[in-house]
Amino acid sequence: MKIIRTDAELQTPITDATLRSAGHELVTLPDGIDEDSLIAAIADADLLLMCYTPITARVIDAAPKLRGIVKYGVGLDAINIPAAKARGVTVVNIPEYAEETVAEGAFALMIALAKRLIPLDREMRAAGWAWPEPAWLGSDIAGKTIGIVGFGKIGRSMARMCGKGFRADVVAYSPHTPASEMAAEGVRHAETLHALLAQSDVVSIHCVLNDNTHHLIGEPELRAMQSHAHLINVSRGAIVDEAALVLALQEGWIGGAGLDVFSEEPLRRAGHMISPLYDMDNVILSPHLTFYTAEAMERLENETLERCNELLDAKPVTIKSRDPRLQGQPGARYP
């Protein structure tokens, strides 16, 4: 069968080799491929593997043989899922491979900001040494209030690391999670997002991107944060109004930011909405790689192959995600 894999810059050697050794034709396409080129490539494809490339209704309609779309990753915002369902194309993601991994990435950004590690490293490389002075003064995590926006598995992992691991006071905002469920994990419940923002020394975003969370953190929310507070985002760039975030950092509404995701990727040093942040010492920019560890990639590749084999063998496809957009697909299995 013919399989298309987009976003070839994200190397998946186990997946590619296994599919080819099984006799399938695998075509890899680069990140940023235009819609027309993707349509031309997918016209006779049986299966589509994608990570970041937008999969529009036009793309789906151009592939009459398409059985399924496998997102080798978590976020589903790039796929027109209603169009896929209308065509009977199964959509599945790999939601569990990097829960702890991404939480560790968020924690690493938080600790690096708190301890001023990036500007200290720059100073050491430039001057050879740095003496204690206010420019290098860091802060502790213990005793601070860490606000978690979204209390799914990654948010819970982040809460555990901060609370049980570093003795921080953890508060979470998640409209669909009962306060009792948070309390059982030692986390305080915030009734509103603004209540969380106003009390937190660090705000870490761990919710999905959908119509309700697009620009969830905008100018009013950034102004509601404390002036020393740091914002961490390892979820999706468009959850934050990035123009407002740039202004907030330029004008000192907040104390800093650690960002691994952006509404337009890849980032650019010039001509990008986020470009002004490159030269700020209170900002850490990461290229959407908090998920990228040897262990997580092995889990991702193995489970991607499991979903591919189910689709190629016309077996029930295992849908592990609780995202309502993936529910109710004919022929799917929901463990």
Give per-residue pLDDT as tens, 306-323.
999 999 999 999 999 999
What's the one-letter identity of residue 51? C
**How does the average pLDDT of the chain come out, rounded?**
97
> Encoding tokens for residue 237?
């760039």
pLDDT one-digit tens code per residue, 142-171 = 999 999 999 999 999 999 999 999 999 999
Q: What percent of the chain has pLDDT over 70?
A: 100
> Encoding tokens for residue 163?
């609370």
> Confidence class of residue 72 from pLDDT cuts 50, 70 and 90?
very high
Q: Could you tell me the residue ranges of all domains in the chain?
A: 2-97+294-333, 99-285
Q: Is 223 a residue of the active site?
A: no
Q: Which helix (H) or strand (E) holds 49?
A: strand 47-50
Whether the predicted model's global pTM rises above the 0.75 cut = yes
What CATH number labels 2-97+294-333?
Answer: 3.40.50.720
Is 99-285 the same fold as 2-97+294-333? yes
The span from the CA of 205 to the CA of 284, in Å, is 15
Q: Is 265 a residue of the active site?
A: yes
Q: Is 272 a residue of the active site?
A: no
CATH of the domain spanning 99-285, picked from 3.30.70.1350, 3.40.50.2000, 3.40.50.300, 3.40.50.720: 3.40.50.720
The span from the CA of 57 to the CA of 187, in Å, is 41
Residue 258 clears pLDDT 90, i.e. is over it: yes
Catalytic residue among 123, 181, 265, 306: 265
Catalytic residue among 230, 236, 307, 325: 236
pLDDT one-digit tens code per residue, 8-45 = 999 999 999 999 999 999 999 999 999 999 999 999 99
Distance from the first to the final alpha carbon of the chain = 27
Phi, psi of 209 (to 5 degrees): -90, 120
Catalytic residue among 116, 189, 288, 307: 288
Residue 184 clears pLDDT 90, i.e. is over it: yes
List residues bridging with 233 in a β-sheet.
205, 259
Sign, Cα dihedral of 110, 115, 120, 121: negative
Residue 331 clears pLDDT 90, i.e. is over it: no
The span from the CA of 264 to the CA of 273, in Å, is 9
Note the helical H segments in the chain: 13-21, 35-42, 57-61, 81-87, 99-114, 117-127, 153-160, 166, 179-183, 193-199, 219-224, 242-251, 294-312
What pLDDT, on the 0 to 100 scale, is given for residue 87? 96
Residue 226 clears pLDDT 90, i.e. is over it: yes
Whether residue 266 is preceded by a cis peptide bond, meaning omega within 30 degrees of 0, is: yes
